Each structure stands twice: as structure tokens, then as C-alpha cells.
């Protein structure tokens, strides 16, 4: 699928529709990039992509605006991810659409998003009285960002993880970094994120891990693809028995994307960080 850029709305002139239009959703086959990282058969992980929408509105039957926040879980087993600009355009199309209640909106979103993704998408809408429940939190484990390292590699280099484990130390550990940055696959706009890595196995050298994460700085891939690449690279070079990779990206256009992949956990909290 070498011509994928031609079918995506990213980077193109856009007409913003204010009336409901599910045809705005643009699916993108996950396998296109999974082939690149060697995930060609059964998935080595489970998980989902958590999307949070902060700019969500429609009209009630009397024409009065309703505002909401949305949380969407797209399973990683789905054949397609949903391209982010198309997701935003789809949500915008509710702005001047009259709908009966939250339940009707949720049902419509579940149907449309599930059809685009190719698997059942979970939708949760919060009304304004529930906004207070969405508190700022922090990632668990040890932050590795203060390590005093010298860095000269800003192009993706998974070999930085080579020989980074100590087989004599078998541990359970949680490490996180706020220095993850990659670029949009199509527009080259920067994507800023924080990443949590939870593992059981040989101790991973935090300095090698931090250099590896920093090497994404000039790499072009979608959020979901970056997280799957991190998972596969860690399994290849560090060979943990158990591994979770969870990234929290800053929002763009009122949406943030937070991919979660694990070979031993099936659920993770939707933690809103300060930068989100």
C-alpha cells in the first residue's frame, strides 16, 4: 500500500462539515506497518488505543448545544486504525446535528467507529457534571529522564538496546519517560508523548532504554505504530518474559491518542497527564 498518503485527509485542504457524516472516517490498515516490524502472523500482544475527545458537541431536539467529552477504545486486533484527522472531522460533523440524548449519540458512534475499525469500539461519553472526575495523574514507576547521558542519535536505532540487559538480575520493573517524540507519518508534524514500560525479566539498562526512546525524535510513524515498534524492539533485544508498553500523547485538534500493548495485562487506566 505504497500510495496510502493519497487516500488520507492529512495534509490536504479540508471542508469542515457540521452535519453528521460517518463517511468522513478514514480507516488505515494496521498490517501495512506491522509487516515492516515483522508482525505478520498472530499478534505478540493484546491491547487497545485509547482516544480522548475534548471538543465534542451536538444539538438536542430543541436546537440547544450539548457538550461532552468522549473516551474511545479501539482494540489492537481490529484490522484498521482510524486516521486522526478523519476522526476529528467525523466528530465535528455532530456539531449542528440534532440528536435525542447521550445514548443515541453513543450508539451512533459505536456503530460508525466499529464499522471503520473492523471490530467493536467501546465509547464512553461524559457530560459536563462528570468533567471533574477527569483528574491529572502521573505515570507509575521510575522516571529515567534525569539520567546524565550523552546523546548524538536522533534517528530510530533499535540496536541501542543491544546488550542492554543483565541476565543475572531478574526483576519486575516500571520505567517511564516524557522524552518520546516522533513525527506524523504524513505531515511531519511533531507528536509529543510520555511512555510507560513495565516488564518482568532481565534488568534493562535505563540509559540504553532512554537513548533508544530519544532515537524516535526524527522518526515518522503514527502513534499506534510507534508503540508497537517499541514493544517488538524490546522483545527482540531485551527478551522480557512479560512486557507492557503504554504511551500517552499530547492532544492535537482536541484529540489525544494513547496506545496500550501488553503480553500479560488486558487493561490499563486512562491516565490523563499534565501535558494532556
Distance CA 105, CA 40 (A): 36
Catalytic residue among 184, 226, 233, 256: 184
Distance CA 184, CA 247 (A): 15
Record the cell numbers describing residue 76, joined without a space.
489492537
Segment holding 232, helix H or strand E: helix 223-237
Q: Is 191 one of the catalytic residues?
A: yes
CA 57 distance to own-chain centroid = 23
Is 143 a known active-site residue? no
Cα(first)–Cα(last) distance of the chain, in Å?
33
Q: How many angstroms separate the CA atoms of 176 and 72, rounded?
A: 24
Active-site entry in 26, 76, 112, 191:
191
**E strands present in 12-118:** 27-29, 46-59, 65-75, 80-82
Nearest CA to 113 among 134, 135, 88, 131?
A: 88
CB atoms within 10 A of CB 268: 17
Contact 201, 166 (CB under 8 A): no
- 208 membership: H or E segment, kind and range: helix 206-214
- Catalytic positions: 184, 191
Amino acid at each position: 500500500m505504497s500510495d496510502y498518503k493519497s487516500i488520507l485527509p492529512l495534509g490536504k485542504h479540508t471542508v469542515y462539515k457540521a452535519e453528521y457524516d460517518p463517511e468522513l472516517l478514514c480507516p488505515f490498515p494496521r498490517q501495512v506497518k506491522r509487516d515492516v516490524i515483522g508482525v505478520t502472523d498472530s499478534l505478540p500482544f493484546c491491547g487497545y488505543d485509547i482516544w480522548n475527545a475534548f471538543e465534542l458537541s451536538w444539538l438536542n431536539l430543541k436546537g440547544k448545544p450539548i457538550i461532552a467529552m468522549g473516551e474511545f477504545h479501539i482494540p489492537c486486533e481490529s484490522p484498521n486504525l482510524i486516521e486522526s484527522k478523519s476522526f476529528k472531522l467525523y466528530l465535528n460533523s455532530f456539531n449542528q446535528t440534532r440528536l435525542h440524548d447521550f445514548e443515541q449519540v453513543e450508539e451512533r458512534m459505536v456503530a460508525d467507529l466499529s464499522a471503520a475499525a473492523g471490530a467493536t469500539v467501546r465509547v464512553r461519553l461524559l457530560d459536563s457534571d462528570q468533567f471533574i472526575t477527569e483528574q491529572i495523574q502521573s505515570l507509575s514507576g521510575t522516571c529515567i529522564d534525569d539520567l546524565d547521558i550523552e546523546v548524538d542519535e536522533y534517528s530510530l536505532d533499535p540496536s541501542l538496546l543491544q546488550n542492554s540487559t543483565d541476565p543475572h538480575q531478574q526483576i519486575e520493573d516500571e520505567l517511564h519517560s516524557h522524552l518520546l517524540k516522533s513525527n506524523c507519518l504524513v505531515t511531519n508534524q511533531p507528536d509529543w508523548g510520555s511512555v510507560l514500560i513495565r516488564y518482568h525479566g532481565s534488568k534493562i539498562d535505563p540509559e540504553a532504554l532512554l537513548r533508544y526512546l530519544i532515537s524516535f525524535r526524527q522518526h515518522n510513524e503514527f502513534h499506534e505504530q510507534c508503540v508497537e515498534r517499541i514493544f517488538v524492539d524490546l522483545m527482540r533485544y531485551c527478551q522480557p518474559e512479560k512486557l507492557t508498553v503504554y504511551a500517552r500523547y499530547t492532544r492535537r485538534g482536541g484529540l489525544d491518542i494513547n496506545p496500550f500493548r501488553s503480553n500479560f495485562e488486558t487493561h490499563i487506566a486512562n491516565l490523563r497527564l499534565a501535558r494532556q
